[in-house]
């Protein structure tokens, strides 16, 4: 099995495990009175991730060598996995691949959420850039970040609107940047 096949198998197994956790967490959130929003765009997100991995595989499968600088995007990818686990641990049973709202709940301010509002989306953005760069899949490295940004634009609006309507999200999170921490000038 090639490094490409091993790597993509790892990513696919990771996604399957995340879907398992998300399903369990959804049942828990719904048992507390939570509900899902954004169901219409979710299939497009799933389709994007599947076609992304297929595209990287197809574009890279006949390469005989990796780019000489592949360790750079690989290291960034590994660091993003650490951030993914930190994000998931910070949200605990409220982490999900879908958008679930628990009315009258308070936003979580621990872990990466004390610095940015959407660390999980930032991690996905990093992955969608670094995975193709590791394998020299340059077309995928250009196309899929653009498509992902378009979908995230829709998703974040839906998520923040629902959170603001049903929780104290707007009041508590408005000073926290979406993706990139800012230096505190106090």
CATH for 7: 1.20.120.1630
- Dihedral of CA atoms 88, 153, 30, 23 in degrees, nearest 10, equals -50
Q: What is the pLDDT of residue 184?
A: 62
Q: What is the pLDDT of residue 58?
A: 96
Residue 76 has pLDDT above 80, yes or no: yes
Q: How many domains does the chain have?
A: 1
Domain housing 97: 3-173
Residue 138 has pLDDT above 80, yes or no: yes
In a domain, 179, yes or no: no
Q: What is the pLDDT of residue 51?
A: 98
Is the overall model pTM greater than 0.75, yes or no? yes
In a domain, 57, yes or no: yes
93 contacts 31 by C-beta, under 8 angstroms: no
101 contacts 162 by C-beta, under 8 angstroms: yes
Question: pLDDT-derived band of residue 39, with 50, 70 and 90 as boundaries?
Answer: very high
In a domain, 183, yes or no: no
What's the mean per-residue pLDDT of the chain?
92
């Amino acid at each position: 099995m090639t490094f490409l096949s091993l790597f993509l198998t790892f990513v696919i197994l990771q996604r399957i495990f995340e879907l398992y956790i998300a399903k369990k967490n959804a049942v828990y959130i719904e048992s507390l009175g939570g509900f899902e929003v954004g169901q219409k765009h979710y299939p497009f997100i799933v389709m994007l991730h599947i076609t992304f991995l297929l595209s990287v595989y197809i574009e890279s499968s006949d390469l005989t060598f990796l780019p000489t600088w592949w360790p750079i995007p690989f290291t960034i990818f590994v660091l993003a996995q650490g951030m993914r686990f930190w994000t998931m641990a910070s949200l605990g049973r409220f982490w999900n691949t879908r958008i679930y709202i628990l009315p009258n709940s308070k936003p979580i301010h621990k872990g990466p959420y004390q610095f940015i509002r959407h660390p999980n989306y930032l991690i996905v953005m990093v992955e969608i850039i670094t995975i193709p760069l590791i394998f020299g899949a340059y077309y995928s490295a250009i196309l899929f970040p653009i498509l992902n940004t378009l979908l995230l634009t829709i998703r974040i609006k839906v998520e923040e609107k629902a959170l603001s309507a049903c929780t104290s999200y707007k009041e508590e999170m408005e000073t926290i940047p979406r993706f990139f921490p800012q230096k505190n000038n106090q």
